[in-house]
Chain A
Amino acid sequence: MRVALFVTCLADHYFAAAAADAVRLLRHLGCEVAFPADQTCCGQPAYNAGRLGEARRMAEHTLEVFAGAPGDPGDPAAPDAPTAAEAVVLPSGSCATMVKKFYPRLLAGGADTSGSVALANRTSAAAALADRTFDLAEFIVHRLGVTELGSGLAGRKVAVHQGCHALRELRLETEPAVLLEGAGAEVVSWEAQEECCGFGGLFSVKMSAVSAAMADRKLDTLPEVDWVVSGDGGCVLHLDGRNRARGTGIEFVHLATALWRGVAGGARAAEGSDVAATHAAAARPLEVP
């Protein structure tokens, strides 16, 4: 199956190695992966802040990139990839939700801002893109029908933090845990499992104290585990930032990396991942700019 990766801005810059693991994982599962080079940010920060004009412009840009609109330079490795891709996969539940659930809503309203996608067309384009867009775990379980990945995580105890959008908008309640177990891990239940970690994008900056208190609730209730695994980079930046500020010493691993380790059996994948490495090495005092 031909898949276009929408890496998301956060993964592009903060979880590059995890995104690379997502590519490895998808290829391992028989997918041909394309990376449309003009992709940027899905626009969720603006959408959640209520700046719908800006959000719409970013959404329209994304529609063009992934719908393979005229003028798309495509990708050197697979020039015709975007148009031919059967699915768009994101290593982020929140951004996947933005495309799947919020684009159709966002693009149905408001004036035509860019002029490049006609108002009438962009509603149907949004619906079409929503239909073939998937969160990584959702894609593997529901589109590929795969739940058994290997045994590379045997002996690992992990807890799952599922982002709220994936959980309550996409209703991906069990998929990450199913895949982790399918890679040999023991998934431990967590009292605050389904509670919001307090990231919420702009919320973490605007209501910083409440946001941090929410992270504390998650960290304080965490059972004894080797890793906390999450498919949402934003949540991890926030939870791990709090973790490092408090010196709690919890190791966070992106779901893509965890699953790829499950497939590859540990040894090979370990060097390819910078998430655990970065964050484990980063148990240093709080830096204030």
Chain B
Amino acid sequence: MHTRIGDYASRSREIIRGDLGVREAVTGATIAFDQKRLQGYAEVDADAWRRWAEGVKSHTLTHLDRYLTEAEARLEANGTEVHWAADAAEAREVVMSLAARHSVKSVVKGKSMVTEEIDLNPALEAAGIEVYETDLGEYILQLLGEEPSHILGPAIHKSLQQVQQLFADHLGSEPGGDPDTLARAARRVLRDAFIQSDMGITGGNFLVAETGTVALIENEGNIRLTTSLPRVHVAVVGIEKLVPCMADLAGFLQLTARAATGQPIGCFVSLVQGPAAHPDDDGPEEVHVVLVDNGRTNVLAHEHAWEALRCLRCGACLNACPVYRQTGGHAYGYVYSGPIGSVLDPGLLGLHEAMPLPFASSLCGACEDACPVRIPIPEMLLEWRREAQEEGLTPWKERAALKALASVATRPGLYRAAGRIGSRLGATGVARALPMLGEWAAERALPTPSGRTFRELWREGIE
């Protein structure tokens, strides 16, 4: 996927200074999500659940070849066709050839980050296929031509007024309609799409190796419809989504929902084993699972970042993140944003491509506390920063400044002399001596040195 990560600093500034209400909308929504998560965690022994989930995911990832083999065999035994895609182009090709095989004219989609990652919609549309995003938030963004800004609430950066205007323009709904009226207007369009579409495309929250089950979590029912009404269901699933067995799945369904929205479970969970086989079953004739790598094995091979593959895509770290709250996901320039994006993207795309995301964090640690699978995000950010420094991907001024600090700080005499001078310089004097403070001063008043250092006060004696 085309990324715009490199402009993070300037784009985040534009979003913050722009008057689009993004910051208000995102802050409000994420704080609400975060509070629900805290309630959801409080109802169970969240620490024990999170340790358990970390263990199961790490176990699966350290035995991934075994579980992939098991899942493949079981999926095929269920009558599901399994496809493999090493990168985005291969994944698109698989889906496009399936669409061609079935002469697909129209596709309904469930919300899926991996299909964003592989740029599937433009490919389908280029082939003349009509694509309907059926998650309400995704549908809003599709009408706007925007990308999702949050894993869970893709349109949380949009206000009610913006949706009112959009639906009035596109769906002819009455201006100023309440959310209920607006949702009904979308439902009418999308209900027809469900009934007339030949193919349903989803992601997958989990893939159960033992039973060959693709598990999908949602609240609207659109994914159940997407996996049920069209003749063909294609699930595009990252290879890290495996869990060993149904008992594990039962735990993960609950933990994911609690982390995401505080719910005990999503209102609808689809557990897809394969195509309809029973005469009473009105489901799809064909089910396809596309197992996608697209950088995941690079992450898996990384000494530290591999743990990021435990990610459940619940969005809890985004909701907890004070950095994310200021801008929403668009500032990050890639489908995975927020804290998890900042550690995952360098692994998926290569560190060079993902700069400066490892630095887009104050290292406050709120993400790690929220994460249901205990991904050590701050530690991982530091690791990416270390690699960025080693590969010379940071500004030379910054490197020089820190080298100078270390030189001074390991020579006490020099340190004391520099401190005495610095303390007498006054605010602007210090700023002149440390040019990096220019950025600081663009937003804040300069700090004023004490005049005399503590060690001078100490020498004179503290009464």
Q: Do A and B bind each other?
A: yes
Specify which of B8, B419, B445 is in contact with A244 (CB 8 Å cutoff). B445
Within 8 A of A (CB), among B373-404: 382-389, 394, 398-399, 402-403
The tally of residues in B whose CB lies under 8 Å from a CB in A reads: 78
A77–B458 CA distance with the chains assembled, in angstroms: 9
Closest to B399 in A: A51
In the complex, chain B residues whose CB is within 8 Å of the CB of A164:
362-366
Q: Please determine whether B362 and A61 come into contact, CB atoms closer than 8 angstroms.
A: no
Q: Does B403 contact A54, Cβ atoms closer than 8 Å?
A: yes
A242 and B443 form a contact (CB under 8 A): yes
On whether the beta carbons of A209 and B441 are closer than 8 Å, the reply is no
- Residues 230 to 289 of chain A near chain B (Cβ within 8 Å): 237-238, 240-245, 274, 278-279, 282, 284, 286-289
Given contacts A211-B443, A213-B16, A287-B445, contact A205 B437 (CB under 8 A): yes
Q: Is the CB of B364 within 8 A of A196?
A: yes
B405-463: which residues lie under 8 A (CB-CB) from chain A? Answer: 405-406, 408-410, 412, 415-416, 419, 422-423, 427-428, 431-432, 436-458, 462-463
Across-interface contacts of A200 in B (CB, < 8 A): 361-364
Q: How far is the CB of A217 from chain B (nearest CB, A)?
A: 7
Segment at the interface with B among A17-25, A130-138, A139-147: A17-25
B443 adjacent to A35 (CB under 8 Å): no
Whether B27 sits at the interface, judged by CB under 8 Å, is yes
Question: Are B322 and A206 in contact, with the CB atoms below 8 A?
Answer: no
CB distance from A131 to the nearest CB of B (A): 21
What are the residues of chain A within 8 A of B27 when measuring CB–CB?
Answer: 217
Give the complex CA separation of A286 and B437 in angstroms. Answer: 13
Q: Which residue of A lies closest to B422 (CB)?
A: A13
Name which residue of chain B comes closest to A218, CB basis: B322
* CB of A222 within 8 Å of the partner chain: no
Q: Does A41 contact B (CB under 8 A)?
A: yes
| Of A24, A77, A198, A278, the contact of B362 (CB 8 Å cutoff) | A198
A20 to B436, CA, bound (A): 29
B449: chain A residues at CB < 8 Å are 13-14
User: Is B356 part of the binding interface, using a Cβ–Cβ cutoff of 8 Å?
Assistant: yes
Q: B52 on the interface (CB 8 Å rule)?
A: no
Interface residues on A, range: 35 or more
In the complex, what residue of chain B is closest to A35 when comparing beta carbons? B458
CA distance A167 to B410 in the complex (A): 29
Interface assignment of B227: CB less than 8 Å from any CB of chain A:
no
Q: Which residue of A lies closest to B426 (CB)?
A: A287
- A50 sits at the interface (CB 8 A): yes
**A41-B409, A54-B402, A207-B9 are known contacts. Are A288 and B452 too (CB-CB below 8 A)?**
no
Q: Given A14-B450, A35-B458, A244–B364 Cβ distance below 8 Å?
A: no
CB neighbours of A238 from chain B (8 A): 444
B445:A195 contact, CB within 8 angstroms: no
Are A57 and B455 in contact, with the CB atoms below 8 A?
Answer: no
Chain B residue, CB-CB nearest to A60: B410
Given A16-B453, A37-B455, A206-B356, the answer on whether A168 and B322 have CB atoms closer than 8 Å is no
A241 and B440 within 8 A (CB): yes
A278 touches B441 (CB 8 A): no
CB–CB B405/A46 < 8 A: yes
A49–B367 Cα distance when bound, in Å, is 19
B325 adjacent to chain A (CB < 8 Å): yes
A286 pairs with B445, CB closer than 8 A? yes
> Does B369 lie at the interface of the complex (its beta carbon under 8 Å from any beta carbon of A)?
yes
B359 part of interface (Cβ distance < 8 Å): yes
A145 to B399, CA, bound (A): 43
* CB of B256 closer than 8 Å to a CB of A: no
Whether A214 contacts B363 in the complex (CB less than 8 A), given A41-B405, A48-B382, comes out as no
In the complex, chain A residues whose CB is within 8 Å of the CB of B427: 287
Within the complex, which residue of A51, A202, A242, A282 is in contact with B448, where a contact is CB–CB below 8 Å?
A282
Q: A211 to B362, Cβ gap below 8 A? A: yes
Interface membership of B337, Cβ < 8 A: no
Does B387 contact A50, Cβ atoms closer than 8 Å?
Answer: yes
B406 and A54 contacting across the interface, CB-CB below 8 Å:
yes
Give the residue among A14, A45, A210, A215 with the most B Cβ atoms within 10 A: A210
Contact B419 A287, beta carbon cutoff 8 Å: no
B-contact bits for A34-57, CB 8 A (1 contact / 0 none)? 010111110101111111111101
Let me know if A89 is at the binding interface, CB within 8 A: no
A3 to B457 CA separation, bound complex (whole angstroms): 18
The 8 A-B residue pairs whose C-beta atoms are closest, nearest first, are A50-B385, A200-B362, A241-B444, A196-B364, A54-B406, A212-B443, A244-B445, A289-B431
**Listed A/B pairs (23) with beta-carbon separation below 8 Å:** A19-B454, A38-B412, A39-B412, A43-B409, A47-B382, A49-B394, A50-B384, A50-B386, A51-B386, A51-B403, A164-B365, A168-B365, A196-B364, A198-B323, A203-B361, A207-B12, A208-B443, A210-B360, A214-B322, A241-B446, A244-B444, A274-B450, A286-B445
Known contacts A207-B12, A210-B323; 4 further A-B pairs (Cβ under 8 A): A15-B454, A164-B363, A168-B365, A241-B447
